[in-house]
Chains A and B, each alone.
Chain A
Amino acid sequence: MTTTTPQTPVTSTPAPAQAVPLRRDRTPLGPLLIKVALILGGCLLLVPLVWVILSSLKRPDEILQLPVKWLPENFFNFSNYVQLFSQYNFGQYMANSFLVTGLGILTSLVIALFAAYAFAFYRFPFKEPIFLLVLALFMVPQEALVIPMFLMVSGAGLNNTYIGMAFPDLFTVLGVYLLRQFMEGIPFSYVEAARMDGASEFRILTRVITPMVAPAIVVFVIIKFMFTWNTFLWPMLIAQDERMYTVTVGLVNFAGSEFNQWNLINAATVISMIPTIILFVTLQRYLVRGVAMSGMK
């Protein structure tokens, strides 16, 4: 907001003292300074990520050189990565993460579509209280419920299974909320017309409504992917067999056993971030829109 920027005298006309430039495009100097400051800040924020990537390309002896060396000798030294996939099970961890994440996305999306449809197009008793209850769960930190949840899941014999690992992610309140928001914007006449044509409710949801909320689905899938891919505590508790580890669990376990092999630890850290980074680079616009949307209740 221009209101908080230092009041640099930027308007060309000798304006009264308190004149604050309101139009964003009228002032050449102020925005330039702000832009420069923001670029500097952004680069500063990127330094840790760049540093990890650079470190992951160094040789074991290179990384422990003093004084600290900034750049790797060979920028194409991928031997650390090769080692993680050939001598360690990072390929398996990745596959597990993809499986658990995919399971969570698919299930929570389908459940959310049905629930959102009911909230958006049906009238039924206790509709508002039920929706408010679901919304209230937004503020419940699920991680805090690990104790009863673990007892329930292991009691059901789901320890060390993919279903067990995906369990808390099979349903997400955010999905219901986002999709309902979108469906409320669809005129009821679409549903009525489809019913007139004799379409079943299931068909209306899958063929008429779902395509219309595609943007919200994209946003939800991205956010959900990010959250589920990044969870750590729950899969650590449920995956007891090393072959079942997700990437986050594998990373922590690996770093614990390969103490001080910082070239490998850095490479493993980068590996764990690759899918979300790719997602971020390719779908950044949707991701940003999604986060912004969830703040615009």
Chain B
Amino acid sequence: MSAATKSSAKVGSRIETRRAFIFLAPALFFVLVLFIIPLAYNVLISFFDWSAIGRKEFNGLENYLKVLTSERFTNAAGNTIYFTVLAVPIGVVLSLIVALGFNTLLITRVTGFIRALYFAPVVASLTAVAFVWLWIFNPAYGLANGVLGIFGVDPQPWLTDESQAIPSLAIMYIWARLGFNVIILLAGLQAIDRSYYEAARIDGAGPFRMFWSITLPLLNRQLVLVISVEVMNAIKLFELPFVATKGGPVGSTRSIVMEIYELAFRADRWGEAAVYVIFLFVFLLVVTGLIRKLFTRDIAE
């Protein structure tokens, strides 16, 4: 015991190391079982003509060729990217505006209550969100067309129209995610030392200049986090179209994860589904890498 208690030494003793790994063992086990093995397994499956019940034959890059040239893939990838490009920037900018608004207010019980209003939708599951809005967007009985009717606007088809379906899903998604982003951005804003603004004001900087050269760079970390998390969630798009549109109309809301589900669990074409997964990962890596790069340059200026 006494040898191990000398933990103030620079390097841990052998006993300490052993203890550390005993304490870490369950976590490392799950890292292996939940992440590393599935990732490797997925890569393996992608090289096979893989049926859950029958044959499992190595077929090289055939799945990749088949998937990347299929219209099904380009459609799903296109829909998912369109959704992401629509939902994430609008969602983040809106969150930033709301967070900036809250940041001007004193923290009181009242503002705490108002903030709670924004956070309320966050606690709903995406499944529930889909039903909430499926009902609101109901062309005949829905609230959305009811409200439009008051202003004399013609009823809209919303989720039942090819060109309106993805924007409608984006509205649902932004609604569900706004509060979460506001909280993170607001915490970042409140951590900014106000003396920067005092100094800038003495130098004669206007509000927009202060926003660009103080607020944005110092909010960098939270912005990167929010954008990365949003992109990740948007790219995983599944529940909203699965529930609200079933991928329709005419496949206009079929997402990558929906195709993964359909291919593997409905069509028993696991090898091709695994290729979709790999595409998802590569895409996510590239995008989050780009976000990081873009924003670190920002702060350097």
Chain A nearest Cβ from B54, distance in angstroms:
14
Residue of A nearest to B239 (CB): A232
* B173 interfacial contact with A, CB 8 Å: no
B123 and A273 form a contact (CB under 8 A): yes
Residues from chain B with Cβ under 8 Å of A37 in the complex:
101
A151 and B128 form a contact (CB under 8 A): no
Interface residues on B, range: 35 or more
* B221 interfacial contact with A, CB 8 Å: yes
Residue of B nearest to A119 (CB): B24
The listed residue (B26, B133, B142, B273) touching A68 by CB distance below 8 A is B142
Within 8 A of A (CB), among B196-255: 197-198, 201, 204-208, 210-211, 214-215, 221-222, 225-226, 228, 232, 235-236, 238-239, 242-243
Q: How many angstroms between the C-alpha atoms of A145 and B274 in the bound complex?
A: 9
A7 and B207 form a contact (CB under 8 A): yes
The listed residue (B114, B142, B201) touching A39 by CB distance below 8 A is B114
The listed residue (B28, B30, B201) touching A170 by CB distance below 8 A is B30
Q: How many angstroms between the C-alpha atoms of A269 and B138 in the bound complex?
A: 16
Residues from chain A with Cβ under 8 Å of B167 in the complex:
none
Bits for B136-164, please: 1 = Cβ < 8 Å to A, else 0. 10101111011001000000000000000
With known contacts A45-B120, A114-B27, A195-B5, A296–B261 Cβ distance under 8 A: no
A148 and B42 form a contact (CB under 8 A): yes
Residues from chain B with Cβ under 8 Å of A130 in the complex:
24, 28
The listed residue (A38, A151, A188, A293) touching B102 by CB distance below 8 A is A38
Chain B nearest Cβ from A37, distance in angstroms:
7
* B166 interfacial contact with A, CB 8 Å: no
Chain A nearest Cβ from B132, distance in angstroms:
5
A122 and B117 form a contact (CB under 8 A): no
With known contacts A48-B175, A230-B127, A292–B183 Cβ distance under 8 A: yes
* B170 interfacial contact with A, CB 8 Å: no
Q: How many angstroms between the C-alpha atoms of A232 and B240 in the bound complex?
A: 11
Residue of A nearest to B2 (CB): A195
Residues from chain B with Cβ under 8 Å of A141 in the complex:
232, 235-236, 280, 284
* B188 interfacial contact with A, CB 8 Å: yes
Residue of B nearest to A251 (CB): B127
B41 and A48 form a contact (CB under 8 A): no
Residues from chain B with Cβ under 8 Å of A295 in the complex:
183-185, 187-188, 221-222, 225-226
B127 and A22 form a contact (CB under 8 A): no
* A80 interfacial contact with B, CB 8 Å: no
Q: How many angstroms between the C-alpha atoms of A43 and B118 in the bound complex?
A: 8
Q: How many angstroms between the C-alpha atoms of A286 and B269 in the bound complex?
A: 45
Residues from chain B with Cβ under 8 Å of A63 in the complex:
141
With known contacts A38-B98, A48-B175, A147-B264, A192–B128 Cβ distance under 8 A: no
Bits for B36-50, please: 1 = Cβ < 8 Å to A, else 0. 011101100100000
A124 and B38 form a contact (CB under 8 A): no
Chain A nearest Cβ from B188, distance in angstroms:
7
B23 and A151 form a contact (CB under 8 A): no
Residue of B nearest to A133 (CB): B31
Chain B nearest Cβ from A115, distance in angstroms:
4
Within 8 A of B (CB), among A35-87: 35, 37-39, 41-43, 45-49, 51-52, 55, 63-64, 66-68
The listed residue (A43, A51, A144, A237) touching B280 by CB distance below 8 A is A144
The listed residue (A48, A137, A144) touching B260 by CB distance below 8 A is A144
With known contacts A115-B24, A145-B277, A280-B119, A123–B136 Cβ distance under 8 A: no
B24 and A1 form a contact (CB under 8 A): no
Q: How many angstroms between the C-alpha atoms of A292 and B161 in the bound complex?
A: 38
Bits for A109-146, please: 1 = Cβ < 8 Å to B, else 0. 01110110111011111010010011001011111111
Residues from chain B with Cβ under 8 Å of A46 in the complex:
117, 120
A148 and B37 form a contact (CB under 8 A): yes
The listed residue (A34, A201, A294) touching B19 by CB distance below 8 A is A201
Chain A nearest Cβ from B137, distance in angstroms:
10
Beyond the given pairs A67-B149, A123-B16, 20 more chain A to chain B contacts, judged by CB atoms under 8 angstroms and listed by A's residue number, are: A3-B211, A38-B105, A42-B117, A46-B117, A112-B27, A115-B24, A122-B20, A122-B23, A123-B20, A137-B35, A147-B264, A233-B239, A251-B128, A265-B135, A273-B125, A276-B125, A294-B184, A295-B226, A296-B222, A297-B221
